[in-house]
Amino acid sequence: MPSNSELFLTIYSLGNQNYLLDRFFIFGANELIFITFFISLVLILLGGLKERKAFLFLLIGLLIAEILIKITHIFYFEPRPYVTLNLVPLIKHVPDAAFPSEHTTMAAAVAFASFFAKSKYALLFIILMLWVGFSRIFVGVHYPLDILGGILYGFISIFISSKILNKFLDI
């Protein structure tokens, strides 16, 4: 089984090979999270009850995710792979903590909020989450375990959010 660094290097080495592929993943690493949030906002207006429920899960879940990330950064600091491995990432990024990927955590929160609310758009958001996560490795700013951590943090935050809202609001 390849190590976290080996898997990162395998994915990162795909960059700078094809202009369109680089653009696809740079978009996924930078702008896609904003598109994901925009879609979830549009679904509040155009979607049904399940999409509104997902948005409620998301509101509380994002707060929980941010708290979990801040607590993690107090006790654990993982440098970005481009810092550790002395590489040039495909995007500019400050050399702050890499674990967990905040972009992936937020995309996962959207995806799991839709999943827990049984929205018909859950699969779309899961695909967007995976695109964001893989893109963050491809451009050189996260290790694969940072992405898995982000997915886990997104799941945990929405799980807790759904329990809170289901208990207190009976939704």
Q: Tell me the pLDDT tens digit for each residue of 119-164.
A: 999 999 999 999 999 999 999 999 999 999 999 999 999 999 999 9
d(CA 57, CA 170): 13
**Angle at CA of residue 113, ends 110 and 119, nearest 5°:** 105
**Residues making up the chain, counted from first to last:** 171
Predicted confidence band of residue 96 (pLDDT cuts 50, 70, 90): very high
Across 23-30, average pLDDT: 98
d(CA 32, CA 47): 21
In this predicted structure, the answer to whether residue 170 has a pLDDT above a threshold of 80 is: no
Across 80-95, average pLDDT: 95
d(CA 98, CA 101): 6
- The number of C-alpha atoms within 13 Å of 163 and in the hemisphere containing its C-beta is 6
Residue from 74, 29, 68, 78 nearest 159 by CA: 68
Q: What is the pLDDT of residue 171?
A: 63
pTM: 0.94
In this predicted structure, the answer to whether residue 169 has a pLDDT above a threshold of 90 is: no
Q: What is the pLDDT of residue 50?
A: 93
Q: What is the mean pLDDT of the chain?
A: 95
